[in-house]
């Protein structure tokens, strides 16, 4: 990741953290984790499979720690995905 990309994501994450201060502790923890991954050079890599997290997913959820496939897999394992009958 280029230095300007690191600066961009650091700014985005810190602004989001300030907005959520005191309201959503789980999201603040996720943001702190994303900031740590930025420093470690692993931001944008899925923690489960190691694949790149899509730019669109990071735009929508900058603190995302997993690619969409792995996130959905984890939620299915935990029983969080709701399936609607068609």
pLDDT tens for residues 57-78?
Answer: 999 999 999 999 999 999 888 8
Q: Has residue 85 got a pLDDT over 70?
A: no
- Does residue 45 sit within a domain? yes
The domain tally of the chain equals 1
Average model confidence (pLDDT) for the chain?
Answer: 89
pLDDT band at 21 (very low <50, low <70, confident <90, very high): confident
Rounded-to-integer distance, Cα 24 and Cα 58, Å? 19
Q: Is the dihedral of CA 59, 7, 70, 17 positive or negative?
A: negative
- Does residue 84 sit within a domain? no
| Domain containing residue 20 | 3-78
- The CATH number for 40's domain is 1.20.120.910
Average pLDDT over residues 25-53: 95
């Amino acid at each position: 990741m280029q230095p300007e990309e690191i600066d961009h994501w650091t700014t985005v994450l810190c602004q989001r953290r300030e907005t959520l201060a005191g309201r959503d502790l789980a999201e603040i923890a996720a943001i702190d984790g994303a900031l740590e991954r930025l420093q470690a050079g692993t931001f944008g890599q899925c923690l489960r499979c190691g694949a790149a997290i899509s730019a669109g997913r990071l735009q929508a959820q900058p603190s995302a720690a997993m690619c969409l496939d792995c996130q959905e897999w984890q939620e299915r394992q935990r029983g969080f995905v709701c399936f609607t009958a068609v």
